[in-house]
Chains A and B, each alone.
Chain A
Amino acid sequence: KAGVTQTPRYLIKTRGQQVTLSCSPISGHRSVSWYQQTPGQGLQFLFEYFSETQRNKGNFPGRFSGRQFSNSRSEMNVSTLELGDSALYLCASRRLAGERGETQYFGPGTRLLVL
């Protein structure tokens, strides 16, 4: 069974630009979550999507947005990039949302560098 895939794996952008990251969950998984990992702030929750609806959102500015498609694939977008947005962005999927014991399976991540 294929795991969670993320594209691209590496990205370099400049301040002010925008970026779109893509995540394909494990087949049959309908919930997709996004996390940001930085050395200073650690792992922080961005948002979760289930059945094309955003279920929960973390404490990030509106520049961070996402969406989910009918095939459960998800994208996240960051507009007007800032240097502090440099991070590893991790996508995680699980079969359902809100179920006890549902492990979130993480993808390899997209490493974004903002110059």
Chain B
Amino acid sequence: ELKVEQNPLFLSMQEGKNYTIYCNYSTTSDRLYWYRQDPGKSLESLFVLLSNGAVKQEGRLMASLDTKARLSTLHITAAVHDLSATYFCAVDWSGSRLTFGEGTQLTVNP
């Protein structure tokens, strides 16, 4: 059974600081997705990572994938309040279904 684990699950950080969210998964896959969810809202696609060493950046967020280590990271640079949300990584290992991590609830404080 595929397991996807994120850490930390809760992250409180100050504006302007940097931090990294980690996503580990248990079965070989080269398809990994990052989503953002605001309270009471749906999931917004952030990144799609499809190969070992893939790196994608959008604004203050950068995601990377290491398929050999079965690890993806989401790095936050100079956090701002607008980044407060819950971030999910998800692994597609069957071409048909996403298995999600528990989510990381990020709070950026002024």
Contacts and interface: CB of A to CB of B under 8 A. Distances in A.
Contact of B42 (A97, A103, A108): A108
A47 to B, nearest CB: 9
B25 interface: no
Interface in B88-102: 88, 90, 94-102
B50 interface: yes
B98 A104 contact: yes
A98 interface: yes
Contact of A33 (B35, B50, B97): B97
B50 A105 contact: no
A89 B67 CA distance: 30
Indicate the size class of the contact surface on chain A: 20 to 34
Interface centre among A43, A55, A98, A105 (most CB of B within 10 A): A43
Interface in A48-103: 48, 55-56, 58, 90, 92, 97-101, 103
Nearest to A47: B97
Contacts of B57: none
A43 B96 contact: no
A25 interface: no
A103 B33 CA distance: 8
Given A43-B88, A101-B31, A101-B50, A90 B43 contact: yes
Nearest to B33: A103
Contacts of B101: 42
Given A45-B98, A98-B95, A103-B48, 7 more contacts: A42-B100, A43-B98, A43-B100, A45-B99, A97-B95, A97-B96, A100-B50
Interface of A: 33, 35, 42-45, 48, 55-56, 58, 90, 92, 97-101, 103-109
24 contacts: A33-B97, A33-B98, A42-B100, A42-B101, A42-B102, A42-B103, A43-B90, A43-B98, A43-B100, A44-B100, A45-B97, A48-B96, A48-B97, A56-B94, A56-B96, A90-B43, A97-B96, A100-B50, A101-B48, A101-B50, A103-B33, A106-B35, A106-B43, A106-B44
